Every structure is written in structure tokens, then in C-alpha cells.
A and B are shown apart, each in its own frame.
Chain A
């Protein structure tokens, strides 16, 4: 049975496929599931954005903006090539999965990257907390990938957990290098003391 249908076509589908076990209850359930996935993702995204307020304790607003865009660029550039050109990860064919797949990756990775940078440049946090934040970043991004795989949104062909971990660590390293350069720029402009 094709699960890619919408509620509007339900009666047409059932008429054309009399032997199918489609029921209105099931179609309604699927629709509610899709709405729940989108609503859940949007809630997580909003919460993550609000969490950026905490990062302002150790980062300048321009740093938050710059690190967000830098992380977004590193990830987008890499994953667009991996997905579109190298075909190591398949593009999602499900329209409703666009929100969790695209928005999740666009928000979760950059915001987590900012948390790590905020922890790293914090004067109050100990080295243990800073290391803990790096692990938290790795755990959250791995969980996001695991969830994406479990829900079957983006099938992977020749992509593995190890590759993904290496890519995630590389993004963080690049962000760290960029943050050192960016903070130097801010000091030159006397924006940072």
C-alpha cells in the first residue's frame, strides 16, 4: 500500500483499490502523525532559538550571528554536495519531512555549535564543563541523525556513522578556527575588549 497520499484523495483511492485495507481512521491517523512531526520540530526549533539568549552571557550578538551563519554554511555546503552530487545520502521525497529534515539541520547544528562556542569562551565554565558541551553537541547531532534514519526520511547509501561523526567534528573544528579569526576582527574594531 502506498502511504504517500493525502486525506483529500482517500475516497478516490479506496474506490480504485477495492481490496485495500485503507480506512478513514488510518488516513486520519497518518495526517495527525504528519502534523505532530511538523509541530514537534517547530517547537524544538523555537526552544533552541530562545536558548540562544543564554549564549549572550559569553558571546557578543555579532558573534552569535556570525557563528550561526558559519555553521549553516559549512553544513549546507557539505551536505548539499554529499546529497545532490555524490548521492551518498538520498534526497527526501516526502514533502512533510521537509520541515524536520531541512529545518532541523538548519537550526539544530548551528545552535548546538553556538552553545559549544559560548561554553568555550565562557570565563566561568571549567574545562570539564567545556568538554561536556562538546560531548553534548556530538550526542545531540548523532541523536538527530538517528531520529532521521529511524523515521526513514533520508535513506543513506554509502554514508556511515563514522563519516557523519568525522563531518560533525570537522564542522566544529572549522567553527572554532573561524571564531578565533572573528574575535580578532571584533577586537580590532574595539567591539570586544
Chain B
């Protein structure tokens, strides 16, 4: 099968759907701030990065965790990569840009988001089985998210800077 459906439509699927709908509804109420180009590039970055990470440390030969029900590629994995993660990250760079964060405030913002993300991931693992950890731990997620948010910030600033630069 090209993409597997869920084994059973239960906690993890509902968690993904509710999180996605709530985040998208929240985004819909936010004033439009970015160009389509920015959103497209950020979406591509999150999608490729999340998929790359999950298929490097989430599958053989280094299966540290398992997203969703199966070891195979599921429809809900795809929803996570294409909708849920990019929507959450949109909120991250929306407020990053709105509050024009730099220096210490930016560092605090990144740490705050990594703590929030690690806790959110812990809830999703503990109560909803969105992830099944087979060698991973919450404190590792915390450090991983710091790196991830730093990367997202670098890419976001790069994309914004290049759009305001003089044409070639």
C-alpha cells in the first residue's frame, strides 16, 4: 500500500486532528503578515526537515521512536508533516516577527518554545500514543527542539532578508 491508514482510529489520530484544527483556527484569526513566498518556503522547510528527522532516527537502523500506529509510512504521518507541524511552526515565526525578537529575548523565546514543544510531545506520547519511544526521552526532545527552533529562526530570517534585498 502506498500510504497505510490507521490501524484503529483512536487517541493518536484524534489528538493530531484536534491539534491541527485548533492551530489552523487560531491562525485564521491572526492578521495576514507574510508573503506567500515566505509561507511556501517555511512550509517546505518544516515538511522536509520533519520527514527527514523522523526517517533517520525513527526508522531502521536507528529506531529511537515510532510515530503513530505502524512502523510504515501512514496517512497520519503525512498529515503531521504537511499540516500539523507547519501550522504550529507558523505560530512560532509569526510572533517571532511580530515582536521583532533579538538577542536575549530571542534566546528566551526559543527556550520557551522548546519547553512547550517538549511538554506537548510528552503529553502526546504519554496519553495519546502519537509517538512510542523505544530509545528516546523527553529531555532529549528538549535539546532537539532548541536546535530545531534555532534552525527555523535562521531559515526564517534568511528568507525575510533575501526578499527585501536588491534584485540581482
- Interface of A toward B, CB cutoff 8 Å: 60-62, 65-66, 69-70, 72-73, 76-77, 80-81, 84-86, 91-95, 97-98, 102, 106, 185-186, 189-193
Contacts and interface: CB of A to CB of B under 8 A. Distances in A.
Interface in B134-168: 155, 158-159, 162-163, 165, 167-168
A135 B44 CA distance: 27
Contacts of B59: 84, 91
Interface residues of B, number: 32
Interface in B86-131: none
Contacts of A69: 41, 44-45, 48
Q: Is the interface of A mostly helix, strand, loop or mixed?
A: helix
A76 B45 contact: no
Interface of B: 1-4, 35-37, 40-41, 44-45, 47-48, 51-52, 55-56, 59-62, 71-73, 155, 158-159, 162-163, 165, 167-168
Nearest to A92: B61
A79 B67 CA distance: 18
A81 B52 contact: no
Contacts of B40: 66, 185
A97 B51 contact: no
Contacts, number: 86
Nearest to B35: A189
Nearest to A110: B48
B118 to A, nearest CB: 24
B57 to A, nearest CB: 9
Given A93-B60, A191-B167, A85 B48 contact: no
